[in-house]
Chains A and B, each alone.
Chain A
Amino acid sequence: MEALSNNLLVVVTFAYLLASVSYLGGWIITKAKALGLLATILTWAAFATHTAAIILRWLASYQIGADHAPFSNLFESLVFFGWTLALIYLIIELRTKLKPIGAFAMPLAFFAMLYALKLDPAIKPLLPALKSNWLIAHVITCFLGYAGFGVSASLSLMYLVTGKGRSPEERRFLVLDELIYQTVVVGFILLTAGIVTGSIWANSAWGTYWSWDPKETWSLITWLVYAALLHSRYMRGWQGARVAVFSLVGFVCVLFTYFGVNLLLSGLHSYAR
């Protein structure tokens, strides 16, 4: 079951790559409607397979006696991150029908999966510190939040790439601007929930809800940056391109919280290496 799950994840990774290329093709070749349709079908199929692979891995974990949800190390978190990115993108596509966004959002899912494929996929038992009911709630909220910010950053990139020399008052850019804001809001609420569940967990595992551990601190830094972004809406001149750049900076903080802290700084989250 574990091997099947791993093989499916390889298929999913390359399906995301194909979908990305199709979205890009459908966007550049304006007449090629079939490409856009292909991209959407590919993404849905890959997402369904991805879901199945995660469930299989979960089952396999119980089969071999490791007994835990697949959210315990860097490999598993990357696989889940790819899944949340695809999920949030698909919701946006359903709601807005704006397929070009896929050309910017789906590569992110592909790269997350590609990174995962380079890591050891073995299912290992949980460390005592991770044996908690809060693990699932903490990981799901954090990664959905990260994915919200990831999609927001993709939208921002799209805004900056396509918006050069165009009026920000065009409906298309107003929609993009609103979407950037809304995805940041989604990410912000979920990141907050992730920090809260993490605090509750830390309080029961280590005896303190906040210890200025590098991971905690970087999640707070990310939170502060996005809090500033949300307030920037109420200041004059902070719409459009400026907010798009801000959202990209925020996502750099997310990436550092996710990868940088584990690779460069030491602390309580070292099992996620």
Chain B
Amino acid sequence: MKQTEKPGGAGQRFWDFFASVKLSFVLLLSLALASVLGTLLPQKEHVSVYVQQFGESGARLILGLRLDDMYHAPWFLLLLALLAFNLVVCSLNRLPQTLKLMAKEPAAELKRSRSAQESLTLAGSPTDHLARAEAALKQAVGPVTAGQDGQTRLLFAEKGAWSRLGVYLVHLSVLVIMAGAVVGGIWGYAGFININQGSTIDHLDLDDGRQLPLGFVLRLDKFTAEFHPDGMPKEYRSEVTFLENGQEVEKAVLMVNHPAQRHGIDFYQASYGQSVTKLRANFIKDGQTQTVALAHGQWTDLEGGGKALLIEARPEVNMGGMYKGPVARVGYQPPQGEAMALTAFQAGAKIPMRGGPVSVEILELESTPYSGLQVKYDPGVWLIWLGCGLMVVGFVVAFYFAHRKVWLRLSPAGQGRCKIEIAGSTNKNRLGLTRLLERLSARLKAGAAQGE
């Protein structure tokens, strides 16, 4: 362990606490447990849902601990931040040691005495076997460093020192992903657009209720929904045009799994439906009936003064036994006096509560398909993909490559014989190293037999 301060000091204890694997272990499991809780409790629901399910005091506890939006609760984010800090401290704590291990001179390694895992005695002197042993070691491991200790010949080779960095790559990747999420959270936004076929829109409704100008105009040229014969949905498709300064600049087709992008803002096919755009109705005032066509959100002047518009309409409303059919809300501005809202039902329907000097009857509703688009701007998303890539590469390096060192020691064994001792070390997969040493030993034996 690195000693940055006097042992026992508060700073040292703080450092050691955050440098421990035990803390990582506890944090990982705490995050797992908390996440389980988040999947069991309903998330982002209205207060009333929690009151109904868990009672008054239960709901107070849930809202107090922010369990209704747990994954964004301060304490959950704190756990994530602690894990990030733990990662940084752990890595900084071990990196100098790792770099030292990687940079270690082969010449210094050569003289280290290791207990042999494989040993064989062959006829001939160490010099006789040197070239063959060197070639075998080079082939099995890598470039060989040779040395001499009296009559004894020493050979050393290592490979995969760089693989010690794999774990740091993995830890870095977690931080990069977290950074991506933070960047997206601060500078990104998400919203929704409902757009009728044929109309244009220049802003979006953010998830937090605000409106944001897009900086360009989006027009829905055509929406189609296709279905399989059994009623299963087959494809939802929005054909759109982007306009800037009144000029068409780009056309795009949006489908599920095929978003479109304009100036870094992504548009996704999310929902669809029919929205009523026009109402043909009887407008009855003081016993006088006139047939009018009212547009959604647009005033239409009426004969004999005043104006009216369509506020909203539903093609089918079921009011029990009383009424079943279309319902519309119509705004009426008389020539003098205050504007009023009227409820209109199908012409000819028997509705008991009608009356008043002004009334409206529905003749026909005209509707247009609309498309619901999910809109997103996330400047952090490239960091997420970078982090994911680093993580997978880091795993492969960390788990499938090892820093292996192999020593060969050729010493005279008397009566013109030579003893070859093979030792090895590795930072992971000991069984793999054992197999490597066994292969090397078998090769030396076979090579000697051939050479005779």
Q: Which residues of A contact B (CB under 8 A)?
A: 124-125, 127-129, 131-132, 175, 178, 185, 188-189, 192-193, 196, 199-201, 203-210, 212, 214, 217-218, 220-221, 224-225, 227-228, 231-232, 234-235, 253, 261, 265
Contact = CB atoms under 8 A, between A and B. Distances in A.
B205 interface: no
B35 A221 contact: yes
B350 interface: no
Given A128-B257, A188-B395, A228-B24, 16 more contacts: A127-B232, A128-B233, A128-B234, A189-B399, A200-B385, A201-B257, A204-B258, A207-B266, A209-B384, A212-B71, A217-B35, A217-B38, A221-B39, A224-B31, A231-B21, A231-B25
A201 B36 CA distance: 24
A129 B35 contact: no
B25 A228 contact: yes
Contacts of A188: 395
B372 to A, nearest CB: 12
A208 B303 CA distance: 52
Interface of B: 21-22, 24-25, 28-29, 31-32, 35-36, 38-39, 43, 71, 181, 190, 228, 232-236, 255-259, 266, 268, 270, 374-376, 378, 381, 384-385, 388, 391-392, 395-396, 399, 429-431
A270 to B, nearest CB: 14
Contacts of B374: 206-207
A138 to B, nearest CB: 12
Given A128-B257, A228-B28, A192 B39 contact: no
A94 B259 CA distance: 45
B256 A129 contact: yes
B234 A225 contact: no
Contacts of A128: 233-236, 255-257
A60 B386 CA distance: 39
Contacts of B266: 207
12 contacts: A124-B232, A128-B235, A131-B257, A185-B399, A196-B391, A210-B181, A221-B36, A224-B32, A227-B28, A231-B28, A234-B21, A265-B39
Contact of A204 (B233, B259, B388): B259
Given A125-B232, A205-B256, A205-B257, A217 B39 contact: yes
B377 to A, nearest CB: 10
Contacts of B259: 204, 207
**Of B35, B270, B391, B430, most A-chain CB atoms within 10 Å:** B35
Given A131-B257, A207-B376, A227-B28, A235 B385 contact: no
A212 B384 CA distance: 16
Nearest to B22: A235
Contacts of B256: 128-129, 131, 205
A185 B228 CA distance: 43
Contacts of A218: 35, 39
A249 B355 CA distance: 70
Nearest to A193: B392
Given A127-B232, A196-B388, A212-B71, A225 B257 contact: no
Contacts of A231: 21, 24-25, 28
Given A129-B256, A192-B391, A208-B376, A235 B25 contact: yes
Nearest to A210: B181
Contacts of B233: 127-128
A11 B39 CA distance: 39
B234 to A, nearest CB: 7
A261 B257 CA distance: 23
Contacts of A192: 391-392, 395
A224 B35 contact: yes
Contacts of A209: 381, 384
B32 A235 contact: no
Contacts of A132: 257
B257 A129 contact: yes
Contact of A199 (B22, B39, B228, B384): B384
B392 A189 contact: yes
B385 A212 contact: no
Contact of B268 (A127, A207, A225, A234): A207
Contacts of A235: 21-22, 25
A172 to B, nearest CB: 13
A261 B375 CA distance: 28
Nearest to A195: B388
Nearest to B31: A224
Given A128-B233, A217-B38, A175 B431 contact: yes
Nearest to A131: B257
Contacts of A127: 232-233
Contacts of B270: 206-207
A118 B31 CA distance: 36
Contacts of B43: 212
Contacts of A224: 28-29, 31-32, 35
A220 B255 contact: no
A208 B77 CA distance: 19
Nearest to B38: A217
B394 to A, nearest CB: 10
A31 B268 CA distance: 64
Contacts of B236: 128
B35 A220 contact: yes
B393 to A, nearest CB: 11
Given A125-B232, A231-B25, A235-B25, A206 B268 contact: yes
A207 B192 CA distance: 11
A225 B29 contact: yes
B354 to A, nearest CB: 43
